[in-house]
């Protein structure tokens, strides 16, 4: 295999060649320098020095410009926005550097995607386990308590019956909350009835518990998505509505699912206080990581007092 000189040796040898040529020119050519240099001699030296510097600058610029490009890209690259690669030069050590940098980004993005997929799969499995425990254990236990309270209330004296009724209502409310949490953890309606029904149920639950009206728009004839993509769409809508309930102080929310070109687009908009988007929270980062698993992208727009719009674009299967 032929020896490939490093960048150091290329710069060193080029400077050496330039200086050797300059030295040989002074030694072998009629040009000379007097003790008291004449104007013509100063002119010759100036021109020679300028040519040496020019040749050195041309080579260094060609060799080191890719280094500057890599340094600038490293300061701005975002793994949550993959696909940005540097154009490779035609040759030289700069091309090797850019090629190695692009390969490094490929490996990092692949490893991050794999680790995110494993983490989110484990998270979904844990959600399902907790939802099952809530439904089978806690829910059934509270149901038994309700039945027992009903029997006790029927046999209790009148002065205690009213208080027992209040306790029953509290237990019933707690049971309803547990069932709601279980549905949020494990969206059975998504598995049984599909994405459209799951989004409708999600919006209805949100309106019932937050008091904020949700206007739903689902386009007809949307292409079928993979089960993983449907789960991503549902979770992003769920997280967006949760953020509205916690932070937006909105009066109206719009949830839409449409098709735009080769993508299915989910939008959740509100007329709340808005955000400047300068400090994305863990919820937004989680949405972006989920979207990357199915080749999608999440963007957040809005501003203080202008509301917020969360937009998820998922590619349509070919």
Q: Among residues 145, 166, 186, which one ends one of the domains?
A: 186
User: What is the per-residue pLDDT for 273?
Assistant: 84
The mean-pLDDT minimum among 44-48, 174-178, 198-202, 264-268 falls in: 44-48
Report how far residue 314's alpha carbon sits from residue 224's, in angstroms, rounded to the nearest whole number: 11
| Any domain includes 281 | yes
The mean-pLDDT minimum among 27-31, 85-89, 168-172 falls in: 27-31
292 exposure class (CB count in 10 Å sphere: 0-12, 13-18, 19+):
buried
Identify whether the C-beta of residue 266 lies closer than 8 Å to the C-beta of residue 58. no
Closest Cα to residue 63, out of 100, 104, 2, 14? Answer: 14
Residues 116 and 41 in one domain: no
**Residue 1 pLDDT exceeds 50:** no
Q: What percent of the chain has pLDDT over 90?
A: 10
User: What is the per-residue pLDDT for 125?
Assistant: 77
pLDDT tens for each residue of 209-257: 888 889 999 888 888 888 888 889 998 998 999 888 888 888 889 999 9
| Any domain includes 313 | yes
| Any domain includes 204 | yes
Identify whether the C-beta of residue 213 lies closer than 8 Å to the C-beta of residue 267. no
pLDDT tens for each residue of 111-141: 877 777 777 777 777 877 887 787 778 878 8
Residues 251 and 269 in one domain: yes
Residues 200 and 295 in one domain: yes
Residues 200 and 286 in one domain: yes
Q: Which residues contact 94 (CB under 8 A, 6 or more apart)?
A: 62, 63, 64, 65, 66, 67
DSSP code of residue 264: E
Residues 311 and 212 in one domain: yes
Residues 207 and 313 in one domain: yes
DSSP code of residue 218: E
Residues 118 and 210 in one domain: no
Q: Tokens representing 179?
A: 């069932």
| Any domain includes 1 | no
Question: Cα dihedral angle (282, 283, 284, 285), rounded to 10 degrees?
Answer: 40
Report how far residue 260's alpha carbon sits from residue 84's, in angstroms, rounded to the nearest whole number: 23
The DSSP string of 43-61 is HHHHHHHHHHHHHHHHHHH
pLDDT band of residue 4 (cuts 50, 70, 90) is low
What's the total number of domains in the chain?
3
Residues 251 and 233 in one domain: yes
For all residues of the chain together, what is the average pLDDT?
79
**Residue 39 pLDDT exceeds 90:** no
The mean-pLDDT minimum among 94-98, 161-165, 243-247 falls in: 94-98
User: What is the per-residue pLDDT for 107?
Assistant: 86
Residues 141 and 194 in one domain: no
User: What is the per-residue pLDDT for 8?
Assistant: 62
| Any domain includes 82 | no
Residues 152 and 210 in one domain: no
pLDDT tens for each residue of 52-79: 777 777 777 777 777 777 877 777 776 6
**Residue 149 pLDDT exceeds 70:** yes
Residues 31 and 52 in one domain: yes
| Any domain includes 29 | yes
* Structural domain boundaries, residue 308: 190-318
Report how far residue 274's alpha carbon sits from residue 278's, in angstroms, rounded to the nearest whole number: 12
Q: Among residues 186, 220, 248, which one ends one of the domains?
A: 186
Name the more confident of 46 and 280.
46
| Any domain includes 276 | yes
CATH number at 278 reads: 3.30.565.10
Q: Among residues 136, 161, 186, which one ends one of the domains?
A: 186
Range with top average pLDDT, 41-45, 89-93, 204-208:
204-208
pLDDT band of residue 33 (cuts 50, 70, 90) is low
Residues 213 and 295 in one domain: yes
| Any domain includes 2 | no
Report how far residue 14's alpha carbon sits from residue 56's, in angstroms, rounded to the nearest whole number: 7
């Amino acid at each position: 295999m032929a020896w490939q000189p490093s960048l150091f040796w290329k710069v060193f040898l080029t400077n050496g060649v330039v200086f050797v040529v300059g030295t040989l020119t002074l030694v072998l050519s009629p040009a000379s320098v007097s003790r008291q240099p004449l104007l013509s001699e100063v002119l010759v030296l100036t021109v020679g020095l300028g040519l040496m510097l020019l040749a050195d600058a041309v080579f260094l610029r060609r060799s080191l410009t890719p280094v500057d490009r890599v340094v600038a890209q490293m300061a701005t690259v975002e793994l949550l926005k993959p696909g940005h690669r540097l154009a490779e030069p035609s040759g030289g050590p700069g091309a090797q550097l850019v090629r190695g940098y692009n390969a490094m980004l490929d490996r990092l993005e692949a490893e991050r995607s794999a680790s995110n997929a494993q983490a989110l799969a484990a998270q979904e499995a844990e959600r399902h386990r907790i939802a099952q425990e809530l439904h089978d254990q806690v829910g059934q236990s509270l149901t038994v308590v309700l039945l027992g309270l009903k029997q006790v209330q029927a046999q209790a004296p009148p002065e205690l019956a009213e208080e027992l009724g209040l306790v029953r209502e509290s237990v019933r409310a707690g049971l309803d909350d547990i069932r709601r949490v279980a549905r949020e953890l494990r969206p059975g309606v998504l598995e049984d009835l599909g994405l459209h029904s799951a989004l409708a149920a999600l919006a209805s639950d949100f309106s019932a518990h937050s008091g904020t009206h949700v206007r739903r728009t689902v386009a007809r004839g949307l292409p079928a998505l993979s089960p993983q993509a449907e789960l991503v769409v549902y979770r992003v809508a769920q997280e967006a509505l949760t953020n509205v309930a916690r932070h937006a102080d909105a009066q109206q929310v719009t949830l839409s699912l449409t098709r735009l070109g080769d993508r299915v687009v989910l939008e959740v908009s509100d007329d709340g206080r808005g955000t400047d988007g300068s400090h994305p929270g863990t919820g937004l980062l989680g949405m972006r990581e989920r979207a990357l698993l199915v080749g999608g992208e999440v963007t957040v727009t809005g501003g203080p007092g202008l509301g917020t719009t969360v937009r998820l674009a998922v590619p349509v299967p070919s």
